[in-house]
Structure 1
Amino acid sequence: MSWRSVHWIILIAVLNSLGGCGFKPLYSSNPTSGNGIIQQLSVINIDPIRDRVGQQLRNYLIDILTPTGRPQAPHYVLKVVLEETRSNMVILRDATSTFAKVKIKAHFKLNSLSSNSTLVNKTTESTTVFNIVESEYANITAQHDARRRAVHAIGDNIKLTLALFFGQRDQQPKDTR
């Protein structure tokens, strides 16, 4: 038997064992309840977020949570508050800097509109860096790109946190009294 055949046999055995251990993809739909995570995410209304970076985050969240458009009958509202800091990292003898760090922290809450209760209350943050050069235009562009990368990382973290919340909530046993 060749090594290639052994690799295929091992791969098939591993894939078959995943089904037996209860592995379930995070974004799969739940055929028994019809409330897949993607459907739950699509009924979230995202409140406006202050400042330009907040607007970019809100637009990114709309793209990844509700790609078909604003929900007609939202079940949840997502509120986000951002804090941004920039610090120069490598300071030379002439008091100039060649490296900067942008840190964006997001405090977010998911509230249920039906029960008026807070379901998720978390904080996530992202830190990105960029080089400082002599061209002011290049510095502005690099800082904008660092912010964009941080916003995308925060948006992805928020989506993952909400998906995990809905996935765990759907797996909890229902009260059948």
Structure 2
Amino acid sequence: MRPTRRGLLTLAVLAPVALGTAACGFQPLYGGRGAANVSAKLQEVDIGIIPDQYGQQLRNLLIDRFYKDGRPAHSQYRLLTTLTAAEQKLALQKDATAVRAQLVVYAPYQLVDIATGKVVLSALSRSFISYNVLEQQYAGLVTVENAYDRALLEVSNDITARVAMYLNRPPEIKVDDGTGAGTGSATP
């Protein structure tokens, strides 16, 4: 079978991209040999208490993601998180009743080095989940609870990925500035 012009063009465009990412030191976060390293580093994080029912639900999701082999005996970092949520009415009818709503969940968090007390990572995770507003009371409650479940799952996945990326970053390279004050060593 003969290659088509489109196939060759696609190959010509994607080949440099693939080679470029291989040359820049790109490595997958969870794939290959880095997966065990990421899990071990996430084990070093103590997850602080998050107030309220949905905060505890978020904390449980984070615990499930961070601690694959049980809770750590000694932690190097502490993850501090708060949670706020707001519901916005969308798609209003002529009688001002909403048929659609959006749940907005904000979770600002900080990763604190326990030894120094220094905040090493500070970020905000948020989720926007839309859902139908139902007239039946029980069905409406279930729909809202499902929206919270989906939002908290998104937030926990985002926080886990960002903390894992921070903990798995390469060590900073120290460069000698010519004054002799630097170490002159570099760690790849």
**TM-score of the pair, normalised by structure 1:** 0.82
1:135 and 2:136 aligned: yes
Tell me the equivalent position of 1:65.
66
Q: Over residues 38-72 of structure 1, what are the superposed CA-to-partner deviations in whole Å (9 max), with x where a residue is unaligned?
A: 21111111011011110110000011111222111
Tell me the equivalent position of 2:23.
20
Identity of aligned residues (%): 27
Tell me the equivalent position of 1:39.
40
**TM-score of the pair, normalised by structure 2:** 0.78
In 2, distance between residues paired with 1:113 and 1:92? 52
In 2, distance between residues paired with 1:89 and 1:127? 13
In 1, distance between residues paired with 2:102 and 2:140? 12
In 2, distance between residues paired with 1:20 and 1:119? 28
SS at match of 1:49: coil
Matches within 5 A, 1:97-116: 97-116=98-117
Tell me the equivalent position of 1:172.
172
In 2, distance between residues paired with 1:69 and 1:25? 24
Q: How large is the RMSD of aligned CA atoms in angstroms?
A: 2.6
Structure 2 portions without partners, runs of 5+: 175-181
| Number of residue pairs the alignment of both structures matches | 169
Q: Which has the larger radius of gyration?
A: 2
Give the letter aligned to residue 99 of structure 1.
R
Q: Over residues 88-118 of structure 1, what are the superposed CA-to-partner deviations in whole Å (9 max), with x where a residue is unaligned?
A: 1122222321111110000101111111111
Decide which moves more: 146-155 or 91-100.
Answer: 91-100
1:74 and 2:75 aligned: yes
2:41, 2:168 within 8 Å by CA — same for their partners in 1? no
SS at match of 1:89: strand
1:106, 1:123 within 8 Å by CA — same for their partners in 2? yes
Structure 1 pair 94–160 and aligned structure 2 pair: CA distance change class (3 A): same
Tell me the equivalent position of 2:126.
125
